[in-house]
Chains A and B, each alone.
Chain A
Amino acid sequence: MLPDKLQLEIVTPNRLLLKEEVDELQIPGKNGYLGILPGHAPLISELQIGEISYRQDEAVHYLSVAWGYCEVLPDRVIVLAETAEKAEEIDVNRALAAKERAEKRLADLQNPELDFNRAMISLQRALIRLQVSNKQVGALQ
């Protein structure tokens, strides 16, 4: 029999961020977003910088995540993330500052010390954080 709920666990080096029963979730796999429903086949994937959203009944919750792994089992999803934040926990000002910093670095293309990839990654992170922070717990779209 197929399970009708998923046990979602999000673990970061600092803490166990989340442990909830969810109905459905979306995770940013390295090769694109993955939608996962209860009873999914076992899967392991790397994650990219992006947003995780999960649905509990009618309420959808959002999290931002930067680099991680997820292990999917039919009744369980474990996300190992280097950093992850719930939408309501995101420090918008910090993300804005990070975005500006990264943009400034990227604007200066002549600078030989510019580490393009690193700057791109920080920019991406900041953008995702801002995007997620705008989506507080919402209804199903």
Chain B
Amino acid sequence: MANVLDIRRRIRSVRNTQQITKAMKMVSAAKLRRAQERVFSARPYANKILEVLNSLVTRSENKRHPLLEERGDQRIQLVVVTADKGLCGAFNTNIIKAAQAFIDENQDKRLSLNCVGRKGRDFFRKRPTPLANEFVNIFSKLEYAHARAIASQLMEEFAAQKLDAIYLVYNEFKSVVQQRIRVERLLPIQRLKPSPEETLIDYIYEQPPEEIFNDLIPKHVEVQVYRALLESAAAEHGARMTAMDAATNNAVDMIDSLTLTMNRARQAGITREIIEIVGGAAALE
């Protein structure tokens, strides 16, 4: 049986780890709340843009826009949104797996990757699929400007016909304990649906509808990227919180079982000593 001192040392080390995981869980919980609020507050903007776009589609005669052009999907770029940091359970692994599955499915096409988040970048850097672009270390201070930078680069390459389609794979924030992987097509923009009730309102346009339409479309793409980033950030904190909660519980279990073993070892030692003394005394009689 193991030595009492060793077990005690082990318990101390597990307890230290437990303190760290507990602190991380609390930090994640606080960050999660903030991230969640940002997801919710970004929604009205995204919805409104889509609403105006849809009502414009019904009216505008010229629906041809470089970002709407369908050219098949020979040259695809996949934007992989992972976290910058680990220790969040299967969060990054799941995304990477989904991205890999997407790559395997599209073996015959020309595929490039765009990694947002360090974990995905580190993984795909060592893989054969070319890494066209990367954005790392943005999640600690996520701003709309980041989304704009990513989106404008994508739109530029798409409009210059260097890419035929752009897909986005990210973790959607479903609830604190649940993330769902989403693979969405960012460009070309999926057909906008004219909404029937909107047609009733006869707007005055200060600028020609086409002009407004053309300006709104890039905004829509930016918002899509922004939303994906926010969702992913919230999901990351959720995943980390659950992972750290599980780790803390495991540490508790481990400490319990180690304490039990330690007590047993101590008891065994005492018993052995008593037997030795009794045995020694008996031998003297």
Contact = CB atoms under 8 A, between A and B. Distances in A.
Contacts of B138: none
A13 B227 CA distance: 9
A8 to B, nearest CB: 14
Given A31-B206, A80-B52, A46 B201 contact: no
B284 interface: no
A31 B44 contact: no
A15 B216 CA distance: 19
A80 B206 contact: no
Contacts of A13: 42, 45-46, 144, 223, 226
A50 to B, nearest CB: 14
Interface string B186-227: 000000000000000111111101011001100100010010
Interface stretch (A36-44, A53-61, A85-93, A98-106): A36-44
B41 A42 contact: no
A63 to B, nearest CB: 16
Interface in A10-52: 11-16, 29-31, 34, 41-46
A78 interface: yes
B204 A41 contact: yes
A46 B48 contact: no
A62 interface: no
26 contacts: A11-B45, A12-B45, A13-B45, A13-B46, A13-B223, A14-B144, A16-B44, A29-B206, A30-B206, A34-B206, A42-B203, A43-B203, A43-B206, A44-B52, A44-B56, A44-B203, A44-B204, A44-B205, A44-B209, A46-B215, A69-B212, A71-B52, A73-B201, A80-B45, A80-B49, A82-B144
Q: Give 8 closest A-B pairs by Cβ, nearest first.
A: A45-B206, A15-B41, A43-B204, A42-B203, A11-B45, A13-B144, A13-B45, A11-B44
Interface of B: 38, 41-42, 44-46, 48-49, 52, 56, 144, 201-207, 209, 211-212, 215-216, 219, 223, 226
Interface of A: 11-16, 29-31, 34, 41-46, 69, 71, 73, 78, 80, 82
